[in-house]
Amino acid sequence: MAPALTPEQAAVIKATVPVLAAHGTTITTKFYKDLLTTHPALKNIFNNTHQATGHQARALAGALYAYAANIDDLGKLSPAVELICHKHVSLYVKPEHYEVVGKHLLETMKSVLGEAATPEIMGAWAAAYWQLADIMIDKEAKMYDETSYWADWKDFRIARKAKEASDITSFYLEPVDERLRLPKFKPGQYISVNVFVEELEGGVWQARQYSLSDAPGKAYLRISVKREEGIELGDPKSKTHPGYLSNILHDKKKTGDVVKLSHPFGDFFFEQEEENIPVVLISAGVGLTCLTSILNTLAEEKNARPISWIHGARDSTSRAFKSHIEALAESNPNLKTAYFASQPGKEEIQGQDYDVRGRLDLGQISSDKLYLKSDETQYFVCGPTHFMLDVEASLQALGVPSERIKMELFGTGGVPRV
């Protein structure tokens, strides 16, 4: 445990905010380059695509800026810290990694800032780094303790692949070790899928997070993965495309193949509420995966809880699970649905294949499906970041307080509004 950050050091950190605004990305870009050159084994933890595109460097620069700007009120960063800790444990980041990262980050700051990096500034940043690192290490240690029976990557076999839409396939994953106890995860959480990519220089393990798309308590874990278009595996450019690993799963991984999985984690989930509290599930595209896990869990309750399922997709061919959800609605009169189609096909029929033409717009949803009269309704939102923030703004304009709006924002960089 590092010594506490003093008020004087906190003031120094606050004073460096303009420096981070000007040089943050330069610092973090050099930091990652030097770190991975010196410790190539860490390439198995860091996302190759995010490194190649500079996304990881920009995200870290933003995080450092947010930390410095809020050094005297770290409570504002709690949601982002929670999100990052869940991601860290899903990648099996350990305390020794913080040692290596801290050393290289401070060395890089000193190198880039030159004479401006006075002993006072560097001492303050060393204390600040370890203040945050200790908070995260402690939080992650508790999470590891809770999942100690699953302390590292576990081998899972692809038992079945099922095409759900033109670009979405479900993978049913069963443990190779039949003695492994599958967790009672919280619906909405994700797992990390770790795949060895021999095409990357030297061969590298690469992990991506995918939401679990079915209710807990099954003999398998299911993920439903969207294939990103425009990628030709084997083309050197494909190695830096955001959808690279999803295409490997679609094209190269067959039934019977083995991948490595983390224990489920994630700070976006449904927790059992009183049975009469309404739940509204709002998604766009493949964002429906985590909400399908929540919906399936709610359906298994077999009670009178009001539920709304609101989903936007390009057209019927790209809309996953529609027949499944419609079957749930037929057997559960408390489940209401609304489907948007931004570009419906010529053969699609409004009122049958979709309800509203255009992008998802809550202004087009009848008030009875949003349960606005209840001051307890819980809203779960997942999709592209701009979509989620737009939905959040729409709900807030309708009088819904932010604490009842939950969004899945698990990408690198954390919560955009911080």
Tell me the pLDDT tens digit for each residue of 193-217. Answer: 999 998 888 899 999 999 999 999 9
Protein fold of 279-408: Rossmann fold (3.40.50)
Q: Provide the CATH number for the domain formed by 154-265 in this structure.
A: 2.40.30.10
Q: Residue 405: beta bridge partners? A: 379
Q: Which CATH number fits domain 7-147: 1.10.3210.10, 2.60.40.10, 1.10.490.10, 1.50.40.10?
A: 1.10.490.10
Query: Would you say 173 and 185 are in contact if contact means Cβ atoms under 8 Å apart?
Result: no
Query: Would you say 64 and 24 are in contact if contact means Cβ atoms under 8 Å apart?
Result: yes
Q: Which of 98, 190, 244, 339 is catalytic?
A: 98
Name the residue with tokens 């954390």: 414
- Spell out the residues 6+ positions from residue 146 whose beta carbon is closer than 8 angstroms to its own: none
Domain with CATH 2.40.30.10 in the chain: 154-265
pLDDT at 413: 41
Question: Reduced to 3 states, what is the DSSP secondary structure of residue 312?
Answer: strand
C-alpha torsion sign, points 66, 72, 73, 77? positive
Q: Which of 140, 164, 392, 408 is catalytic?
A: 140
Q: Which tokens in the block code for residue 13?
A: 């950190």
Beta strands at 405-407 and 378-382: parallel, antiparallel or unpaired = parallel
- Spell out the residues 6+ positions from residue 204 whose beta carbon is closer than 8 angstroms to its own: 43, 44, 48, 196, 197
Tell me if residue 98 is catalytic: yes
Predicted TM-score (pTM) above 0.85: yes
Domain with CATH 1.10.490.10 in the chain: 7-147
Q: Which tens digits make up the pLDDT trace of 378-412?
A: 999 999 999 999 999 999 999 999 999 999 875 43
Interatomic CA distance for residues 161 and 167, integer angstroms: 13
DSSP annotation of 256: T
Q: Residue 137: beta bridge partners? A: none
Name the residue with tokens 């050094």: 71
Low-confidence ranges of the chain (pLDDT < 70): 1-2, 230-232, 234-236, 238-240, 410-418
In 3D space, the residue among 352, 85, 69, 46 whose CA is nearest the CA of residue 208 turns out to be: 46
Interatomic CA distance for residues 398 and 279, integer angstroms: 16
Question: Reduced to 3 states, what is the DSSP secondary structure of residue 225?
Answer: strand
DSSP annotation of 355: S
Query: Would you say 72 and 38 are in contact if contact means Cβ atoms under 8 Å apart?
Result: no
Tell me if residue 354 is catalytic: no
pLDDT at 231: 66
pLDDT at 229: 77
